[in-house]
Structure 1
Amino acid sequence: MDTAERLDLVTRHTQEVVTEDELTELLDDDPSAYIGYAPTGEMHIGHFTTMRKLADFLQAGVDVTVLIADLHAHLDDNKSPFDLLDARSEYYEVAIEAMIAAAGADPDDVEFVRGTEFQLDEEYTLEMYRMAAETTISRSQRAASEVVRESESPKLGGLLYPLMQTLDVKALDADIAYGGVDQRGIYMLSREILPDHGGQSPVCLFAPLLSGLSGGKMSASEAASKVNLTDSPEAVEEKIGQAYCPAGELEDNGVLEYLDHLVFPVLDERGEDFVVERPEEYGGDLVYEDYDAVEADFLSGELHPADLKPSAAAAISDVIDPVRERLADETDLLAEAYPETYGE
């Protein structure tokens, strides 16, 4: 695979690359990439889109590290209490491995690291203090504004969050930092200050944030806005059936975004088409080899939401099915990680 082919794989389904020239230069060699997840709430389909991207990295010959950022989960307004960190970290690793496998890659090719394995080391801690001494409150707050829960009087942990995430890039020896576009502020800070702390400015790849099923931004606290990895086929069908998907409109249309960024890449990996079942009186079934054709028919009115939704729900449910089955074997772990939801 030449550099151009590797670049296409690594950058597809991303919103921004900072910078493409730097990434191209990296891909002439054998770079490493990392993505971090703070183990807070249950993982959902929005996480799956970024996990699927890791399959592209692996196929392009990029070494991949997944950071289970347990300390970050606590620093962000105590979203995960200390007594739940171990269980939630284990759950995240199990769920992520299942998603990587469902996307067509081998989870054994991914290295998993927990933040507590290195973020308490003396060298890391001393460097964080140096950063803290040189970084203003306003700069740290601005960097974290899209990630950390905000308030008029922010907690100190939220201000340390972007400094630690910056140091994570150095500690994990990552050439590429990958995450949602909400991470942009933090990684721009990393590119700015890391060279003064013994590291290199990372190349940054940002994934788009998908719309919620109820329109607008996906909300972790709103059940109807997302598909959970443990949702039954019936629950998926109900959520997609009630989703915001006005005829001919693309903006805030989570149904179409799920198809574009998750379903079609997985179908492509499997060598399968997306089929919309439709009565003969309305033109019969529609068969799509790529997402662009779906979007074109949806915009023209050839494909109506009433026909799209059931087929989209079935396809989404099929994609998450291996993950759902894997988590069904982890009832004790789920109960330990989320006692308020799965505990007795």
Structure 2
Amino acid sequence: MDIDATIAKITENTAEVIEVEELKEVLQKDEKIAYVGFEPSGKIHLGHALTIKRMKALQDAGFKIKIFVANLHAYLNGKGTLKELQKTADYNIKCFKALGLSDDTEFIMGSDRITMEYMEKVFKAATLTTIQRSQRSMAQVSRGETHNVAESLYPIMQVIDMDDLNVDVAVGGMEQRKIHMLAREILPKLGYKAPVCIHIPLIHGTDGSDKMSSSKGNFIAIDDSPKDIKNKINKSFCPTGVVEDNPVLEMAHYYIFDEHEKMLIERPEKFGGNLELTEEELLDVYSNENLHPMDLKNSVSKYLIEKFAPAREYMETH
């Protein structure tokens, strides 16, 4: 195994890895486990798909992948009743499979892991954590603004989940960072190993807000119809000449230029004709206002519709 090449593949389009040297050591193991936890709370969108891409890269590097469906955590976070969350969980698992994870991926329901041994670990971890630290860990995860006991319990349970699943690498969005850092601090104090943490950037919502979210309605789902994808992108925030925090250009970065060296922009001859651009050239052309937002949107829509065609087909046939 070429360690450096494998590290580059795993860490592509990540926000940070804590720590790379530890990841190199983990890669030498014959058996290694990478985990990510998702609350079953709505549609699976481009933000989730970005994380699954990293899980697939870890799978290719020889990791056993465990997808933790955090139904109890979602319940603590006010996302619905356990019965409602089970229905959403079934749909979410189907979506994750549609994104191409291999058949040996293990899907684990949080409520199935609750044992006396697990709860004893939770209680021990709770004695090492202040309420304030626990609540700070939830700052970007919590659904509501009011603080309750459930909000303090959530990150402690997540920390113990990592040990309970024998995790070598924990993957999550940047909103999970404080919980992951809590795990790296507490688990060694309990005599358990601390996981390597890989953090995925949060992609902007179609409305230009900081985070794509099903609860905000500013998302593109992996099983959206071609018509819905086109309509959502047409309505997306995409100011003329602005490249920073532009969700349409962000989609191109993560979901077009990840596989294509150049992107084809199709437009009528009267508006300059077709363009075939590298990402650097696209940013330059757009920032200089030599490309209309609708021409960009039309092209990104076409690529995304094609990109997620296999996922749509899977969802329709399974």
TM-score by length of structure 1 reads 0.86
Question: Corresponding residue for 2:42?
Answer: 41
**How far 1:92 moved relative to its partner?**
1.2
**2: CA distance between counterparts of 1:187 and 1:235?**
35
| Equivalent position to 1:128, from 108, 122, 125 | 122
User: Within 2, Cα distance between the matches of 1:242 and 1:149?
Assistant: 26
Contact kept, 8 Å, 1:39 with 1:80, in 2: the verdict is: no
- SS of corresponding position for 2:97: helix
Match for residue 206 of structure 2 among 179, 196, 213 = 213
Question: Aligned residue pairs: how many?
Answer: 316
2:97 is the alignment partner of 1:97: yes
Secondary structure (helix, strand or coil) at the match of 2:276 reads: strand
Distance 2:249 2:196 in 1: 29
Shift of 1:303: 3.4
Amino acid at match of 2:148: K
Query: Which one has a larger percent helix, Structure 1 or Structure 2?
Result: 1
Q: Structure 1 pair 55/291, CA: closer, same or farther in 2 (3 Å)?
A: farther
- For residue 222 of structure 1, report the CA deviation from its aligned partner: 2.9
The verdict on how the C-alpha distance between 1:15 and 1:76 changes in structure 2, with shifts beyond 3 A counting, is same
Matches within 5 A, 1:54-203: 54-77=55-78, 79-99=79-99, 101=100, 106-118=101-113, 120-152=114-146, 154-203=147-196
Q: Cα RMSD between the aligned structures?
A: 2.0
Contact 2:65 2:106 in 1 (8 A): yes
Measure how far apart 1:273 and its partner are: 5.2
Residue identity matched to 1:41: G
**Any idea what SS the aligned residue of 1:230 has?**
coil
1:314 to 290, 298, 302: 302
Instruction: Please tell me whether the aligned partners of residues 230 and 328 of structure 1 are also in contact (alpha carbons under 8 angstroms).
Output: no
Q: Which moved further from structure 2: 240-249 or 53-62?
A: 53-62
Amino acid at match of 1:314: K
- 1:293-332 matched pairs, under 5 angstroms: 293-329=281-317
Following TM superposition, the consecutive aligned residue runs of length 4 or more in structure 1 with deviations greater than 6 angstroms are none
- 1:261 paired to 2:254: yes
| Counterpart amino acid of residue 51 in structure 1 | I
Residue of structure 2 aligned with 1:247, choices 227, 240, 243: 240
Distance, in Å, in 1 between the alignment partners of 2:289 and 2:295 is: 11
Query: Structure 2 CA distance, aligned partners of 1:220 and 1:314?
Result: 22
TM norm structure 2: 0.92
1:166 CA displacement? 0.5
Deviation at 1:60, TM superposition (A): 2.3
CA contact (8 A) 1:52 1:262 kept: no
Say if 2:273 is the partner of 1:284. yes
C-alpha distance in structure 2 between counterparts of 1:151 and 1:234, whole Å: 36
**Unpaired runs of 5+ in structure 2?**
none
CA distance in 2, matches of 1:259, 1:109: 30
